A and B are shown apart, each in its own frame.
Chain A
């Protein structure tokens, strides 16, 4: 096995009774790389993402993470406490709906601080300073630090969710339709922000989306899914400019041109 990968999933299958969630999917990511997973609704993108993050139990396959100390961990074998610890420190998950990823009745500062406190930060002043820095990074006015996310706009909530996830400097971030449900100008802003942060901090990311513009902007490589299967995989520009599989061709050709 090659030793320089960051994350690898091999032959992942997940069934919902008779129905296929995803079948025989393999992928791997190098440090700092961004992988896009595209496909129509119900093609198994989110199932796959939840499986490899460790939220859903897989029926077949193995998931490996090359952790900070260069030990290779198999998610399907390690204990639950260990997995949750890794999810809190090495990994992060950005939900499509910020309401799923934020605590809506806790201030913005508390939301960012939670992951810090979870890994043992016990100094209020320090936590607050880090939280303010992150608010700045995601372009939220620092004076809003004590406001609840419920008073924020959709775009701000999504940016807050990103800050909350990145604060512990994870090495791999999972994103499920991070710009879904936002209007186009806000989408552009979030994408711009994500691109900067991911490049600046060298974080690897797996982005699930049905929006090809998102992967074009962010991803280095993409995989195209249909009915739980991977139908095409490759470099982002290669697949989008010269799609080989008929479903990828359909997907690319159905993007609206302005």
Chain B
């Protein structure tokens, strides 16, 4: 509270620090602690109305709000980019309500809220990655009854999850699922990694950072603590493959980062650029340095 009173800005004083009231934050933190204790388990929490529509990251900002402290450095990305609408508005929201420092650099951030990507730059200890989750239940489209899916998790009856992958191979000859690819957390619960591309799945495994997942509409929080085993589901004869478009970024030239496909002309010419804007900038800088040295 001291931090806040120091600030002269009237806008900020209308809200409690980081928008949510302290009791709500306490409730969310309790859910987060429980989630961290049982990796991959979906903890119900009483999600609040946020000043934005469902589907825009209401779960993510509640988790961020409960985790933020005044000395945090916040980064917000949407599909890897720092400068898209969703990212910009959430970043401004916390600048206004919490007055925290913000950054676009992954390595400088202490808390990163993300929609559908994991940054290319390796995460470190003491960083928190908050995912926005639309549908936390990996079994939802296979088994519509919530009572039944909870039982299936409790008894680890995951045959049905494999039926989905089986169907993929039967239809397409390979596992076609390209995003929200189910993982097994800590050898126990099957977890939805939120709609990140499966290219990012290996980054979840044994990550030094804390990974928190918030689903606002569905009122669920789950988490993957640091250095936890996260395994993507697969078949013995059809192993998991992280995949990306087989091109180079047309801005920085990187061939190992996840690419967005962009149609650049009316006759359908395509261009591929890094989806992680911060990584792309870093690579461009590195390239120009190298050129300077030459």
Binding site for B on A (CB under 8 A): 80-81, 84, 88, 103, 106-107, 109-110, 113-119, 122-125, 127-128, 145-146
Contact = CB atoms under 8 A, between A and B. Distances in A.
Contacts of B171: 107, 146
B166 A127 contact: yes
Contacts of B236: 122-124
A84 B170 contact: no
Interface in B155-183: 155, 157-160, 162-163, 166-167, 169-171
Most chain A beta-carbon contacts within 10 A, residue among B158, B169, B171: B169
Interface of B: 154-155, 157-160, 162-163, 166-167, 169-171, 235-238
Given A81-B155, A114-B159, A117-B162, A123 B237 contact: yes
Contacts, number: 53
Contact of B163 (A80, A84, A106): A106
B237 A124 contact: yes
A128 B154 CA distance: 28
A174 B200 CA distance: 45
Contact of A114 (B163, B170, B237, B238): B163
A84 B167 contact: no
B163 A110 contact: yes
B238 A107 contact: no
A123 B235 CA distance: 5
A211 B167 CA distance: 37
Contacts of A84: 155, 157
A117 B163 contact: yes
B254 to A, nearest CB: 34
A196 to B, nearest CB: 28
A119 B158 CA distance: 9
A87 to B, nearest CB: 11
Contact of A115 (B158, B159, B237): B159
Nearest to B233: A122
B72 to A, nearest CB: 42
B240 to A, nearest CB: 12
Contacts of A107: 167, 170-171
Majority SS of interface residues in chain A? helix
A190 to B, nearest CB: 25
B155 A113 contact: no
Contact of A125 (B159, B162, B167, B237): B237
Given A122-B162, A125-B237, A106 B167 contact: yes
A122 B170 contact: no
Nearest to A120: B159
B166 A110 contact: yes
B163 A113 contact: yes
Q: Please provide the 9 A-B residue pairs with the shortest distance between their CB atoms, ordered closest to farther.
A: A118-B159, A117-B162, A117-B159, A124-B235, A123-B236, A81-B155, A110-B163, A114-B163, A146-B170
8 contacts: A84-B157, A109-B170, A117-B159, A118-B159, A122-B235, A123-B235, A124-B236, A145-B170
A164 to B, nearest CB: 11
Contacts of A106: 163, 167
Most A CB contacts (10 A, CB to CB) among B155, B162, B169 go to B162
Contacts of B237: 123-125
Contact of A110 (B154, B155, B167, B238): B167
Contacts of B166: 109-110, 113, 117, 124, 127
A45 B236 CA distance: 44
A116 B160 CA distance: 10
B159 A124 contact: no
Given A119-B159, A146-B171, 9 more contacts: A80-B155, A106-B163, A107-B167, A110-B166, A110-B167, A117-B166, A122-B162, A123-B236, A124-B169
A230 B90 CA distance: 69
Contacts of A109: 166, 170
Most buried by B among A116, A117, A146: A117
Contacts of B154: 81
A38 B21 CA distance: 65
A84 B156 CA distance: 11
A144 to B, nearest CB: 12
A167 to B, nearest CB: 12
Contacts of A115: 159
Nearest to B235: A124
A118 B235 contact: no
A117 B171 CA distance: 18
A81 B158 CA distance: 13
B36 to A, nearest CB: 25
Given A110-B167, A110-B170, A146-B170, A118 B157 contact: yes
Contacts of A80: 155
Contacts of B159: 114-119
